[in-house]
Structure 1
Amino acid sequence: MNSSPVTLLASGNSFGAYIPAMHLHSYLQGKGVGTDVHVLENLYHEEIRRKIRSTKKAFHADFSVARMGHKLAKPVGPSLNDDAVGRLLDAWMRADAYRFGVFTGFWLPILERYKAAAGRPLDIKLIRLDASDTPSYKVHKQLYPGYDNVWFYQPSKLSPDSYIASDEAEPLPYGQRVGRIMIHGGGWGIGTYAETIRELRALGRKLDVIVYDPSEVEEDDGVTRYFGTDASWEPWIRDTQGKHTFPPMIRYVREDGVLREYPLGEYSVYTDLLRNCAAVISKPGGATLNESLAFGIPFIMLEPFGDHELHNSTYWESCGFGIRFAEWKARDFSEHHLEGIYSRLLEQRLKINHFGRNMYAAENSSYV
């Protein structure tokens, strides 16, 4: 693999535009490729950044509010601190940065400025982890056709070409898994997952619940487990070494009304939970599609958030890699059906490579 440094452009606004970037960062670092991760929110005015947490809470509390916010998406230009943008562009110029992996369309106006200043060909790949335009690309339809758009999920081709993970480990055989089901509402904890948890708990299903807020943790019943992200962590905050990190994950246990926290340590402990689960239940976000394929996890899909997730749901179902929750319920929550989905995922997984393996190979470089 070519060892030229790669700049990965992510966003903390969505785990779908952050976690895959961090996985690719880890993978490329392991291959000896230098990477630098930038999170868009670090370029925002401070007062704009402070509002993000309250927006998340509003979206988490009311799915209809989240849907409305999705429809009102607009370019982030007014949110950007021009001095911060200028410093970043100067740093790229000094470093002669020319290879980029982009995880959200909101970076495009900044890249346009850099293209104009760089005075040389740039290798910029827009990594599209949804089956149609997300809001960040819809607002920049006039810009993105001029870039190398790498679509993982093309509706005309019901066979994804690649996946992203921190390594190339094969999916765990289905019969060796512990049989638990992971359920979550994405990074913002939105959607219809809360009522789904209640329904499955009543059936005695073994669940690993990813909560948005520790207040959601119920009294320990010896069956359901609860996990979440450290509340003090934000994707745009760098660690003491100046690096962006995976979210620090915590296991929560509430006993006799007392909530206790048990840090998981390395993020790989959390991904091991993913590798081990029998299925994942969530809204059909692009990052969860990627995890479904990367780890061979049948995807039970809840109500989508926006048109792009509706397309994601249709695509994954058409590929045979997932099932809508209502359909799974109609099948009496069939475990046999989930194992059939796993078999199709494994078959596809054996045909493809990790995206990072050839993304930055010199012979495959394309320029804009």
Structure 2
Amino acid sequence: MNSSSVILLASGNSLGAYIPAMHLHTYLQSIGVETDIYVLESLYDEKVRSKIRSTKKAFHADFAVALMGHKLAKPVDNSLDEEEVQRLLNAWKQADVTRFAVFTGFWLPILERYKTDSNKQLDIRLIRLDAWDTPSFKVHKQLYPVYKNVWFYELQKMSPGSYIASDEAKPLPFWQRAGRILIHGGGWGIGTYAMTISELRMLGHRLDVIVYDPSEVEEDDGTTRYFGTEVSWDPWSRDKHGRHSFPPMIQYIREDGLLREYPLKDYSAYTELMRNCWAIISKPGGATLNDSLSLGIPFVMLEPFGDHELHNSTYWESCGLGIRFTEWKNQRFSEHLLEETCTRLLEQRSKINHFGRITYAAENSSYV
């Protein structure tokens, strides 16, 4: 590790603060920038960490419960294992770490401590993949203004500034795609996405459904495909090589009541699945906005989860890059409308660069 290395600070509590970090990690390494990822939950007390799965299950089961939990968000300082935090700070100091990309505001109190202890000039960028404060930044509103806040979606500009992906591969033209529609509920499988599945199946749409739990997989109908994350995987654990990884994805097929699992080769196979779809249907999370832009996928947006997603939805619709599900339904689920939206996405995408290229491939950078 050296002073030109970049430390990516993510969270496993939400894949929206993990997957983009993994994409940036993969991209920067491909252009020769040394990186490492740290996931906040690895610093939690084990008792706290063990409760995350039960919380996710409760939020998945009842969207109203999830919305209430969102409103009650608070700093995570009391959940941290102080010995682990001190060990991490010492390791950063010993390795002379000076550059950080931060994907969740819950890291800010730890960074404040590092700034106090370090005698180096630090380059700390807060990656803002939503059009409004997420809970993790909102609870630290007194801290984040002094940092370099990198807003990808600035309300006053009405056009996204950049995107994050594992590579710089161009999106496919609309009519070269497989014509399928991807439906998911984000990393926690929350929202109203499940209600859309039967409706679209009845209309003959070919669907790729990302399930939260394998029990949600229905009998194979020949057109609907089901995928999900390996149940035993969690973002805060490192693999046998000591590295964080993309979630291992599985395709599920249920025939005559028997559920079979077919692991995808790697996460790029899932990315290719997204690249080939006509639209994504999901709640308007920041990471899904990034998927929409980086892969040129029209975003059909469901009920938002919190104020930040409400702003995301309004912003994406105002930019002409997505449409609310209710409006798409009113337009009789028009494929032509999706094509028009895709055209605008591809045009917008052609005007901007990968965040990693415009930031870390450049020799000059700003500091705090």
User: Which interval holds the TM-score relative to the shorter structure?
Assistant: over 0.9
* Residue in structure 2 matched with residue 32 of structure 1 by the alignment: 32
Deviates more, 1:42-51 or 1:193-202: 193-202
Counterpart residue identity of residue 325, structure 1: F
Contact 1:299 1:321 in 2 (8 A): yes
- Percent identity between the two aligned chains: 75
Q: Tell me, yes or no, if structure 1 residue 91 matches structure 2 residue 98.
A: no
* Residue in structure 2 matched with residue 109 of structure 1 by the alignment: 109
1 CA distance for matches of 2:213 and 2:32? Answer: 37
1 CA distance for matches of 2:156 and 2:186? Answer: 27
Classify the secondary structure of the residue corresponding to 2:237.
coil
2 CA distance for matches of 1:46 and 1:218? Answer: 35
Q: Tell me, yes or no, if structure 1 residue 81 matches structure 2 residue 72.
A: no
Classify the secondary structure of the residue corresponding to 2:154.
coil
Q: Tell me, yes or no, if structure 1 residue 260 matches structure 2 residue 257.
A: no
* Residue in structure 1 matched with residue 235 of structure 2 by the alignment: 235
Contact 1:41 1:236 in 2 (8 A): yes
Query: 1:166-219 CA deviation, whole Å, 9 max, x = no partner?
Result: 000000111110100000000000000011111111111100000000000000
* Residue in structure 2 matched with residue 122 of structure 1 by the alignment: 122
* Residue in structure 2 matched with residue 155 of structure 1 by the alignment: 155
Counterpart residue identity of residue 240, structure 1: K
Counterpart residue identity of residue 355, structure 1: F
Classify the secondary structure of the residue corresponding to 2:344.
helix
* Residue in structure 1 matched with residue 137 of structure 2 by the alignment: 137
Classify the secondary structure of the residue corresponding to 2:51.
helix
Counterpart residue identity of residue 255, structure 1: E
* Residue in structure 2 matched with residue 22 of structure 1 by the alignment: 22
Q: How much does 1:119 deviate?
A: 1.0
Q: How much does 1:363 deviate?
A: 4.1
Contact 2:152 2:161 in 1 (8 A): yes
Contact 2:3 2:99 in 1 (8 A): no
Q: How much does 1:3 deviate?
A: 8.9
* Residue in structure 1 matched with residue 334 of structure 2 by the alignment: 334
2 CA distance for matches of 1:367 and 1:320? Answer: 34
2 CA distance for matches of 1:142 and 1:274? Answer: 38
* Residue in structure 2 matched with residue 185 of structure 1 by the alignment: 185
Structure 2 spans left out of the alignment, 5+ residues:
none
Q: How does 1:265-276 map to 2 (within 5 A)?
A: 265-276=265-276
Classify the secondary structure of the residue corresponding to 2:252.
strand
Structure 1 spans left out of the alignment, 5+ residues:
none
Q: How much does 1:361 deviate?
A: 4.2
Counterpart residue identity of residue 322, structure 1: G
Q: How does 1:242-257 map to 2 (within 5 A)?
A: 242-257=242-257
Query: 1:253-291 CA deviation, whole Å, 9 max, x = no partner?
Result: 000000000000210000000000000000000000000
2 CA distance for matches of 1:362 and 1:57? Answer: 43
Q: After the TM superposition, which parts of structure 1 deviate over 6 Å for at least 4 consecutive aligned residues?
A: none
Q: How much does 1:91 deviate?
A: 0.3
Contact 1:358 1:364 in 2 (8 A): no
2 CA distance for matches of 1:359 and 1:110? Answer: 24
Question: Paired residues, what number?
Answer: 367
Counterpart residue identity of residue 259, structure 2: L
Q: How much does 1:88 deviate?
A: 0.2
Query: 1:3-56 CA deviation, whole Å, 9 max, x = no partner?
Result: 921000000000110000000000000001110100000000000000000000
Classify the secondary structure of the residue corresponding to 2:13.
coil
Q: How much does 1:362 deviate?
A: 5.2
